[in-house]
Structure 1
Amino acid sequence: MTLNRRLALKSIVAITGTLLSLRNWAQSWPDKAIKLVLGYTTGGASDATARIIVRPLEQNLKQTVVIDHKPGAGASIGAEFVARSTPDGYTIGLTDTGPLCIMPHLRKVAYDPLTDFTPLSYVCSTGLVLIVNPALDVKNVQELIALAKANPGKFSYASSGVGSVHHLAGELFKARAGVFIVHIPYRGAGPALTDLIGGQIPIMFATIGPALPMIVSGKARALGVTSIVRSSSLPNVPTIAEQGLKDYEAVLRFYMVGPIKMPAPVTTLYQSNFKQIMLEPNVVSELKKLGNDDIVPKTPAEIQSMIQSDYRKWGAVIKDAKITLDS
Structure 2
Amino acid sequence: MKTSVFTRNAIAGSLMALASLASQAAQSSEYPNRPIRMVLGYTPGGAADQVARDLAPAMEKVLGQTVVIDYKPGAGGAIAGDLLANSPADGYTIGLIDGGPLTIIPHAHKVGYDPMTSFAYVGIVSQSPLVILVNPSVPATNLPELTALMRKAPGSLNYSTSGLGTIHHLSGELLKAATKTDMVHVPYRGSGPAMTDLMGGVVKVSFATIAPAVAVVQSGRARAIAVTSTREVPTLPGVKPVAEQGVPGYDAQGVFLIAAPKNLPAPILAKLNEALNSALSTPSVRDRFVSLGSVVRLSTPQEAQDLVRKDYQKWGALIREQNIVFE
Greater mean alpha carbon deviation, residues 171-180 or residues 218-227:
171-180
The residue that corresponds to 1:55 in the other structure is 57
Which of 192, 198, 201 pairs up with 1:190?
192
Which of 191, 203, 210 pairs up with 1:208?
210
Matched, 1:284 2:286: yes
The residue that corresponds to 1:105 in the other structure is 107
Q: CA–CA distance in 1 between the matches of 2:308 and 2:136?
A: 36
Question: What aligned pairs does 1:208-227 form with structure 2 within 5 A after superposition?
Answer: 208-227=210-229
Maintained 8 Å contact 2:127/2:297: no
User: C-alpha offsets along residues 64-84 of structure 1, whole Å, 9 cap, x if unaligned?
Assistant: 111011111111111111111
The residue that corresponds to 2:156 in the other structure is 154
The residue that corresponds to 1:114 in the other structure is 116
User: C-alpha offsets along residues 37-74 of structure 1, whole Å, 9 cap, x if unaligned?
Assistant: 11111111111011111112112111111101111111
Which of 253, 256, 267 pairs up with 1:254?
256
Which of 81, 84, 88 pairs up with 1:82?
84
Maintained 8 Å contact 2:133/2:205: yes
Instruction: Describe the SS at the equivalent of 1:142.
Output: helix
Q: CA–CA distance in 2 between the matches of 1:155 and 1:275?
A: 43
User: C-alpha offsets along residues 135-183 of structure 1, whole Å, 9 cap, x if unaligned?
Assistant: 1111100001111111112111111111111111111111111111111
The one-letter code matched in structure 2 to 1:100 is: L
Residues 33/145 of structure 1: CA separation in 2 closer, same or farther (3 Å cut): same
Q: CA–CA distance in 2 between the matches of 1:285 and 1:111?
A: 34
Residues 22/194 of structure 1: CA separation in 2 closer, same or farther (3 Å cut): same
Q: CA–CA distance in 2 between the matches of 1:64 and 1:243?
A: 46
User: C-alpha offsets along residues 166-223 of structure 1, whole Å, 9 cap, x if unaligned?
Assistant: 1111111111111111111111111010000111111001010111110111111000
Maintained 8 Å contact 2:27/2:268: no
Which of 232, 235, 242 pairs up with 1:233?
235
Greater mean alpha carbon deviation, residues 213-222 or residues 302-311:
302-311
Residues 155/269 of structure 1: CA separation in 2 closer, same or farther (3 Å cut): same
Maintained 8 Å contact 1:279/1:296: no
The one-letter code matched in structure 2 to 1:89 is: G
> TM-score when scaled to structure 1?
0.94
The residue that corresponds to 1:310 in the other structure is 311
Q: CA–CA distance in 2 between the matches of 1:307 and 1:14?
A: 33
In the TM superposition, residue 325 of structure 1 has moved relative to its aligned partner by: 2.1
Matched, 1:325 2:326: yes
The residue that corresponds to 2:267 in the other structure is 265
Instruction: Describe the SS at the equivalent of 1:22.
Output: helix
Greater mean alpha carbon deviation, residues 315-324 or residues 34-43:
315-324
Residues 221/33 of structure 1: CA separation in 2 closer, same or farther (3 Å cut): same
Question: What aligned pairs does 1:7-156 form with structure 2 within 5 A after superposition?
Answer: 15-156=17-158
Residues 11/310 of structure 1: CA separation in 2 closer, same or farther (3 Å cut): closer
In the TM superposition, residue 277 of structure 1 has moved relative to its aligned partner by: 2.1
The one-letter code matched in structure 1 to 2:249 is: D
The one-letter code matched in structure 1 to 2:126 is: C
The residue that corresponds to 1:3 in the other structure is 3
Q: CA–CA distance in 1 between the matches of 2:15 and 2:153?
A: 77
In the TM superposition, residue 280 of structure 1 has moved relative to its aligned partner by: 2.2
Maintained 8 Å contact 1:163/1:323: no
Query: Where do 5+ consecutive residues of structure 1 fail to align?
Result: none
Query: Where do 5+ consecutive residues of structure 2 fail to align?
Result: none
When the two chains are superposed, the root-mean-square deviation of aligned CA atoms in Å is 1.7
Residues 21/298 of structure 1: CA separation in 2 closer, same or farther (3 Å cut): closer
The residue that corresponds to 2:298 in the other structure is 297
Q: CA–CA distance in 2 between the matches of 1:203 and 1:215?
A: 13
Q: CA–CA distance in 1 between the matches of 2:292 and 2:311?
A: 22
> TM-score when scaled to structure 2?
0.94
Instruction: Describe the SS at the equivalent of 1:241.
Output: helix
User: C-alpha offsets along residues 268-313 of structure 1, whole Å, 9 cap, x if unaligned?
Assistant: 11112222222222221111122211x1312222222211111111
Greater mean alpha carbon deviation, residues 162-171 or residues 295-304:
295-304
In the TM superposition, residue 94 of structure 1 has moved relative to its aligned partner by: 0.7
The one-letter code matched in structure 2 to 1:31 is: N
The one-letter code matched in structure 2 to 1:288 is: V
Q: CA–CA distance in 2 between the matches of 1:9 and 1:139?
A: 72
Greater mean alpha carbon deviation, residues 83-92 or residues 6-15:
6-15
Greater mean alpha carbon deviation, residues 239-248 or residues 2-11:
2-11
